[in-house]
Amino acid sequence: MVEHVSVRHLAEAMSRGDAHVVDVREGYEYAAGHVPGAVHVPMHLVPLRVGELPRDKDLYLICETGNRSFQVGLYLARQGISSHNVEGGTSAWRWAGGPLSTGSAA
């Protein structure tokens, strides 16, 4: 199941420590600005890295506008993994004044 959630919902989950954020954008997009603490798993690599996704926290998927992350959520649902798609993506996060980290994934 893919649940659509707002950036406010994501911020609340992050403040409680309940969120595992996965950014599915390309590397250059992630490096330019991402939700702090987001793990970078480009959309095309999700099938190869699905085993790395935690099962002990709620999974929040984010891209730039919410379209790619929704597609990843549909794929994960077919694998039996529930997730939350962040509506409006990083654009909405940025517009709402959410903090951004820069730089590539380690």
- Alpha helices by DSSP H, listed for 26-88, are 27-32, 46-49, 67-78
pLDDT tens-digit readout, 89-104: 999 999 999 999 999 8
Q: What local confidence, expressed as pLDDT, does residue 106 receive? A: 54
CA distance 10 to 84: 9
Q: What is the CATH number of domain 2-95?
A: 3.40.250.10
β-pair type (2-5, 39-40): unpaired
Sign of CA dihedral 91, 95, 96, 101: positive
Q: Hey, which residues are catalytic here?
A: 63
The predicted pLDDT at position 93 comes to 98
Per domain, the residue ranges of the chain are 2-95
Average predicted confidence (pLDDT) for the chain:
95
Say which DSSP state 53 is in. Answer: S
pTM over 0.75: yes
How does residue 23 score in pLDDT terms, banded at 50, 70 and 90? Answer: very high
